[in-house]
């Protein structure tokens, strides 16, 4: 079990790093959206590429951060009955959900998305919009995102089994009190302070 827990920690570290990097894409998307709006209003110039890059960034944020969101236990849950059960029963329900629903669905979607990426890459598929972008990077986000989600699902399964064996504390306990937005704001502030000190 110790080897599995080391694997779980490695997966957690990977998704933590990916998630913290993807947080910056929110800022990039906002800046591009604002710049596009200003240029369109002030100069009456617009670009489909600017619009499509916003869609790509939104897709990247949503897909690449899915494993990070699962790591942070922040996925949406409709918990009407679950909280009434004991913690061990809740963990067993999680194990069932991961094994029966999460892992098969994520693996299936990721495997079905891979041929779409390959076809778009080989054909050099472009957007049908004038001035639009090449499509394969957007298609590539799907298998990568679902691969990261599968990895995190495996990690969560390992942690829940380890908890049931009494080896680790509750893996569903909230790991943070700050929201992703608060963390991003703190990271931006820290970068600005570091840049100010460097001058």
Question: Which residues span the domain enclosing 98?
Answer: 2-198
- 175 — pLDDT class (breaks 50, 70, 90): low
Farthest CA pair distance, the chain: 64
Give whole-number Cα distances, 120 to 64, 138, 140, 143, 145, in Å: 20, 10, 9, 13, 17
Q: What is the average per-residue pLDDT within 98-126?
A: 95
180 vs 139, residue with greater confidence? 139
For 50-102, the pLDDT digits (tens) are 888 988 999 999 999 999 999 998 877 767 777 788 889 989 999 999 999 99
Q: What is the average per-residue pLDDT within 165-193?
A: 79
Q: What is the average per-residue pLDDT within 128-155?
A: 92
Domain count, the chain: 1
The pLDDT assigned to 48 comes to 81
Tokens 């409709």, residue located: 78
Quick check: 160 and 91 in contact, CB under 8 A? Answer: yes
> pTM for this structure?
0.81
């Amino acid at each position: 079990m110790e080897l599995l827990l080391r694997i779980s920690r490695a997966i957690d570290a990977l998704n933590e790093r990916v998630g913290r990097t993807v947080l910056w894409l929110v800022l990039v998307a906002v800046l591009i959206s604002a710049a596009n709006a200003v240029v369109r209003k002030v100069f009456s110039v617009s670009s489909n590429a600017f619009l499509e890059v916003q869609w790509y960034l939104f897709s990247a944020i949503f897909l690449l951060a899915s494993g990070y969101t699962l790591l942070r236990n922040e996925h949406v849950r409709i918990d009407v009955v679950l909280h009434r059960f004991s913690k061990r029963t809740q963990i067993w329900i999680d194990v069932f959900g991961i094994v029966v629903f999460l892992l098969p669905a994520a693996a299936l979607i990721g495997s079905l998305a891979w041929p779409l990426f390959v076809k778009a890459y080989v054909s050099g598929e472009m957007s049908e919009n004038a001035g639009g972008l090449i499509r394969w990077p957007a298609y590539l986000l799907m298998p990568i995102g679902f691969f990261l989600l599968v990895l995190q699902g495996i990690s969560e399964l390992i942690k829940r089994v380890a908890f049931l064996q009494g080896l680790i504390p509750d893996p569903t306990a909230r790991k943070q009190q700050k929201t992703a937005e608060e963390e991003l704001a703190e990271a931006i502030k820290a970068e600005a302070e570091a840049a100010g000190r460097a001058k």
